[in-house]
């Protein structure tokens, strides 16, 4: 796995975070800028916590993980 293990959990790069939630990488970056998820890592490589992503996917932040990609559905 291409991730970083910490005492709090596993942190993964943007590409794997997007894959885990079924969204585009740009969506992950946008959520980080807006404060929905925490960005870790270095300036050159962002990392995201899998536990935090799972909570987002489960709706524990009060929102849904992603909007439908098909308009009007």
The pTM (predicted TM-score) of the whole model is 0.72
pLDDT confidence bin for 53, thresholds 50/70/90: very high
Residue 34 — very low, low, confident or very high, per pLDDT cuts 50/70/90?
A: very high
Both tokens of 30, joined, read 């946008």
11, β-bridge pairs: 4, 49
Per-residue pLDDT at 68 exceeds 80: no
Residue 10 CA to residue 51 CA, distance in Å, equals 8
Instruction: Give the separation between CA 28 and CA 53, rounded to whole angstroms.
Output: 10
Checking if the pLDDT of 48 tops 90, the result is yes
The predicted-structure confidence for 6-29, as pLDDT tens digits, reads as follows: 666 799 999 999 999 999 999 999
State the first-to-last Cα distance of the chain, in angstroms, to the nearest integer.
Answer: 35
Q: Which domains does the chain have, with CATH numbers?
A: 4-57 (1.10.1660)
């Amino acid at each position: 796995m291409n991730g970083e293990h910490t005492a709090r959990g596993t942190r993964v790069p943007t590409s794997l975070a997007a894959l885990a939630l079924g969204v585009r990488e740009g969506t992950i970056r946008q959520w980080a800028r807006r404060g929905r998820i925490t960005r870790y890592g270095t300036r050159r490589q962002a990392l995201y916590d899998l536990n935090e992503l799972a909570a987002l996917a489960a709706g524990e932040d009060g929102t849904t993980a992603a909007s439908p990609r098909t308009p009007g559905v």
